Amino acid sequence: MNTPRTIHNLALIGFMGTGKSSVGRSLATHLHFRFVDTDELIESRTGRSISDIFAQAGEQVFRGIEKQVVAELAKAQRTIISSGGGLAANEENMASLKQHALVICLWASPEVIWERVHTQTHRPLLQGADPMSKIRELLAKREPFYKQADVLVNTEMRSIKEVVQQVLHQFNLARGTSSAKS
Ligand code: S3P
């Protein structure tokens, strides 16, 4: 029943603060692919910020819109998809991405994530009284999903440039092209 998998795209999944957007933009430039950030797409579609959607409509509504966006992206070609941190924590979303994209998870420990995000204010899930506990809790819940990625790339102690090179290498291997050609 499963339709055969064809890798037209590259999807980055992983927790907040793992560098999906920065890495994704750079990959798109290197590969001459289109770049789509699911959060940006949701914001432009709804005309509201992610924070406003969470505050006014709630997380469930946000997850519903996120799911629609994932379903639409099944038609994408030559696209780098940078996904919101919670998008992959849903069986259907993961299955959909895997049909058309090489799924790469960017990884970091809770401590490193905290270092990277604690001064930022645009992530509603981390605006509570104890963001470090929230990071640990969410990461533990999501880890089984993140580990279903085709490739896991540790972003700790690596620059964005190094992560990009690592991802490019994996993508070229998956497509059967030599990284020397990219
Ligand atoms: C979320 C991560 C955010 C954004 C929303 C929810 C999450 O995206 O989708 O705030 O549930 O982890 P980033 O991972 O790009 O910060």
Model-wide pTM > 0.85: yes
Q: Which atom of ligand 1 is the closest one to the Cα of 37? A: 15
DSSP 119: T
DSSP 149: S
69-73, 89-93, 164-168, 176-180: the lowest-pLDDT one? 176-180
Show the tokens assigned to 2: 């499963």
Are the C-beta atoms of 38 and 83 separated by less than 8 Å?
A: yes
pLDDT one-digit tens code per residue, 26-85:
999 999 999 999 999 999 999 999 999 999 999 999 999 999 999 999 999 999 999 999
Element containing residue 98 per DSSP (H, E) = helix 91-100
Tell me the three state secondary structure of residue 93: helix
d(CA 171, CA 93): 20
Which of 12, 15, 16 to mutate to test ligand 1, by most ligand atoms within 8 A of the CB atom?
Answer: 16
pLDDT of 1:
54
Between residues 13 and 175, which one has the greater pLDDT? 13
Closest residue to atom 16 of ligand 1, CA basis:
16
The label of the residue with tokens 């506990």 reads 133
Indicate whether residue 65 lines ligand 1 (CB < 6 A). no
At residue 179, does pLDDT exceed 70?
Answer: no
pLDDT of 180:
40
d(CA 22, CA 152): 17
